[in-house]
Structure 1
Amino acid sequence: MTAVMTGIFAVLLALSVPVGYALIIAAGTAILFHGGTPTVLAVVKLFQPTQSFPLLAIPFFILSGSLMMSGTLGQKLVQFAAALVGRFHGGMGQVTVVGSTIFGGVSGSAVAEASALGSMLIPWQKREGYPAGFAAAVTASSSTIAGLIPPSIPLILYSTVSNASIAALFSAAVLPGLMLAAGMMLVCYLSGRIRNFPRLTDQTHLRSVGKSILSALPALLMPFFIVVLLRAGIATPTEVSVIAVFYALVVSLVVYRDLTWARLHEALVGTVITTGIVMLVITASSLVGHVLITERVPTIVAQWAQDTLVNAILIILMMNVIMLVVGMFLDLPAAILLLGPTFVAIGQAIGLDPIQLGIMICINLSIGLFTPPIGTTLFIGAAIARVPIGAVVKELWPFYLVAFMVLILMSYVPALTIY
């Protein structure tokens, strides 16, 4: 049954069928072909994940991010990042990285971040004399930091398949997210210095930095509030997501006074569409998971890894390689939901902490977002910059190096994630 499902899924992907539909068709066909599962049970398995209370956090976090990113706050964040690092070598590239890190604490979505920030910062960098390929590369790679900085949608999805604490995942993801940001800023600095990129010489005064911090403070505080509320046990993730929407509404109405009915309507429609896409993948993955569990695939794979590779170091390496390959062809949510159950079983077999495993999975699959042939943020950056994919990939190799270094540290130094 698993072989039939995998074959059909591969064919459908090759035919460019959307992932969610491909998963449902492949799993449904495999179940009908096998004949061991009643149709009613298959339908129940398909819709069962939609009844999960923690998953309600996803649309609320998406809505809060849409409300805050689409208004004046987005401009204030860019001004803050420019005042903070714009005067250094590769300053405008560093502005993109800083902006991505802060926006990650608002949106939780790498794709939303690449679209919102890229539309602002890529044309700006091109006007100032930065190569279009480099501008797209910075945006494509740094936007994936949103997969780690709370409120991370991928981490919420991982918690649903692993039963790991969302609060613990959010806390553990802050350090690797900041490490990625620091490494990418270093790449921008060295590139700017070696290639003599322009700098923002008008952002040299500390007064401008202080003023921009005050104007961007509502966004800077949001991820801090999320982590504190969760770690202190004051609210559940779903309750925190509702608080985040209320916070975004207050900031837009009272602080910036830029919330209009048109903006609210646009944010709501965008949230419904994005949530629908995510939930389609979640329901489809539940059906696939039923097929895999029925045939004991996670247990068999975990036992095979233990018996064949023996060493935990090699098993972790194998998991990373598989995730890197899968991430090149599947979007992050689908990959997490498909690989999560099997890798959690392997992690339990070798004593790998589920929090550490969750950080590994998110970093690994985030790399796939800016890796050909189907890198989502890579295509977004190239489309906005209006350059070929190849020109962007040439500029991406130092960013890959940074991401791989952080991935290795998170994979083999548990103290960095379970501190």
Structure 2
Amino acid sequence: MVAVLFISLVALMFVGVPIAASIGFASLASMIAGGSTTLYLVAQKMVTALDSTTLIAIPLFVLAGAIMGKGGISKRIIDLSYEIFGWIPGSLGIVTVVACMFFAALSGSSPATVAAIGGIMVPAMIEDGYPAGYSAAIAASGGIIGCIIPPSIPFVNYGLITGVSVGDLFAGGIVPGILMGVALCVIVSIQATRNHWGSRTHGINGKKVLAALKSSVLALLMPVIILGGIYGGFFTPTEAAGVACVYGMVVACLIYRTVQFRNLMDIAFDGVLTSSMIMFIVAAANAFSNIITTQQVPAMLSALVLSITDNKNIVLLLINIMLLINGCFMEETATTYIYTPILFPLITSLGVNPVQFGVIMVMNMTMGLITPPLGINLFVATSLDPRVKLSNQIKYIMPLFLVLCAVLMLVTYIPSISLCMVNLIGGGV
């Protein structure tokens, strides 16, 4: 039954069936192969998977990010980043990464971050002398921080499955997300200096920095309100998502006036399309994971791994390798719902902190967004400028990917990196 489950999933994905449908049909095939006469349970599990108040946060965060993105917030964030970091060699590349970090705190979505920031910065970098493929690779790599720095949709999914506090997961992603951004900035500056890419540098002008900060401060306050409200006990993560939507509408429609009220319906429609795809995967993956659990796959995997080694560090390394490879072929929501029920009992038996493992898992999955053949961020970045070709982008992505792997290893083997903010503002887990 389990063999049919995984073989049919791989086969369906290989022939191009959408991931949500592949998961659902694989679940049905497995139950048929096992002689089950209660196939309605697949549909039942799909429906019950969506019966959760925590899941409401996903479409609300998606909508909040869409409102802020359509409201021209990305341009204000880019201007602020350029005034602060424009003096560093490779300034436009660094500004792209830093702007992605700021925008990540608004959108919670990696592809949305790439589109919002890359749409402005990729053409600008190409005009400034950066290779087209490298310009897109920077935007694609910086965009993955959108799933690490809160609010983060993958953290919501992980918390829903495991019961780990979503607020603690949000806090756990702050420092790793910043480290990823700093690491990318360093390698971008080194490569730009070595290859003489880019020319625009300037000194810091205090008045211009203050003007750019004044222009963008309301947008930058949103993550402060979200995290402050959660840890201040004013609202839950789900309620925080609703607050983010209202705040985004007030800022974009009434203060900045970059979004007309008549355009909100179109923005909401785009948000519904994105959210429905995520929810379909969540529903199908719940049926899939239910079969995995009833067939005792987590227990069998734990017994198998522990019979080989009970060294926590080796097990974490093997999990990292497996998830990185999986990320090349599978979307992060599906990965979360398929692998978390399997791996969570194993890592808890080894004494790994659930918040730390959540950060490790999400980092692995998001790095898959810049690796072929799936590499959603690569495709988004390729679409941003006609001068960008996917093949050219891929050859530039490897140094950036390796730097992110180094950060992943630090987060894996130094728990305090992901837990320091949890202990500071969340009281630990």
* TM-score (norm: length of structure 1): 0.97
CA distance in 2, matches of 1:84, 1:352: 38
Q: Decide which moves more: 384-393 or 12-21.
A: 384-393
- Which residue of structure 2 aligns with residue 384 of structure 1? 384
Counterparts of residues 51-62 of structure 1 (less than 5 Å): 51-62=51-62
> Is the 8 Å Cα contact of residues 306 and 350 (structure 1) preserved in structure 2?
no
What secondary structure sits across from 2:235 in the alignment? Answer: coil
1:96-133 CA deviation, whole Å, 9 max, x = no partner?
10110011001000011112222221111112221101
Report the CA distance between 1:10 and its aligned residue: 1.1
Counterparts of residues 211-250 of structure 1 (less than 5 Å): 211-250=211-250
- Residue 356 of structure 1 pairs with residue 352 of structure 2: no
Report the CA distance between 1:262 and its aligned residue: 4.5
CA distance in 2, matches of 1:266, 1:187: 39
Aligned partner letter, 1:275: S
Aligned partner letter, 2:93: G
- Which residue of structure 1 aligns with residue 427 of structure 2? none
Counterparts of residues 40-59 of structure 1 (less than 5 Å): 40-59=40-59
CA distance in 1, matches of 2:297, 2:90: 48
- Which residue of structure 1 aligns with residue 164 of structure 2? 164
Report the CA distance between 1:203 and its aligned residue: 6.5
Report the CA distance between 1:202 and its aligned residue: 5.6
> Is the 8 Å Cα contact of residues 117 and 139 (structure 2) preserved in structure 1?
yes
1:342-380 CA deviation, whole Å, 9 max, x = no partner?
111111111111100000001111111001121110122
CA distance in 2, matches of 1:51, 1:297: 25
Aligned partner letter, 1:333: T
1:29-64 CA deviation, whole Å, 9 max, x = no partner?
211221336233322111111111000001111111
> Is the 8 Å Cα contact of residues 102 and 219 (structure 1) preserved in structure 2?
no
- Residue 89 of structure 1 pairs with residue 81 of structure 2: no
Task: Detail structure 1 runs of 4+ shifted over 6 Å in the superposition.
Answer: none
1:213-248 CA deviation, whole Å, 9 max, x = no partner?
111111211112211111222211111011101111
- Which residue of structure 1 aligns with residue 328 of structure 2? 328
Report the CA distance between 1:399 and its aligned residue: 1.2
Aligned partner letter, 2:44: V
Counterparts of residues 257-406 of structure 1 (less than 5 Å): 257-385=257-385, 386-406=387-407
> Is the 8 Å Cα contact of residues 278 and 333 (structure 2) preserved in structure 1?
yes
> Is the 8 Å Cα contact of residues 88 and 199 (structure 1) preserved in structure 2?
no
Structure 1 residue runs without a partner (length 5+)? none
* Aligned sequence identity (%): 28
CA distance in 1, matches of 2:410, 2:231: 24
Q: CA RMSD in A?
A: 1.4
CA distance in 1, matches of 2:129, 2:85: 17
> Is the 8 Å Cα contact of residues 298 and 343 (structure 1) preserved in structure 2?
yes
CA distance in 2, matches of 1:256, 1:181: 28
CA distance in 1, matches of 2:6, 2:349: 25
Aligned partner letter, 1:282: V
- Residue 251 of structure 1 pairs with residue 257 of structure 2: no
> Is the 8 Å Cα contact of residues 89 and 192 (structure 2) preserved in structure 1?
yes
What secondary structure sits across from 2:50 in the alignment? Answer: helix
CA distance in 2, matches of 1:229, 1:164: 18
1:175-222 CA deviation, whole Å, 9 max, x = no partner?
000000111111111112112222334674221111101111112111
Aligned partner letter, 2:403: V
CA distance in 2, matches of 1:363, 1:390: 24
Aligned partner letter, 1:158: Y
Structure 2 residue runs without a partner (length 5+)? 421-429
CA distance in 1, matches of 2:167, 2:403: 26
> Is the 8 Å Cα contact of residues 64 and 107 (structure 2) preserved in structure 1?
yes
What secondary structure sits across from 1:258 in the alignment? Answer: coil
CA distance in 1, matches of 2:351, 2:152: 25
Q: Decide which moves more: 194-203 or 166-175.
A: 194-203
Q: How many residues align?
A: 419
> Is the 8 Å Cα contact of residues 86 and 199 (structure 1) preserved in structure 2?
no
Q: Decide which moves more: 233-242 or 253-262.
A: 253-262
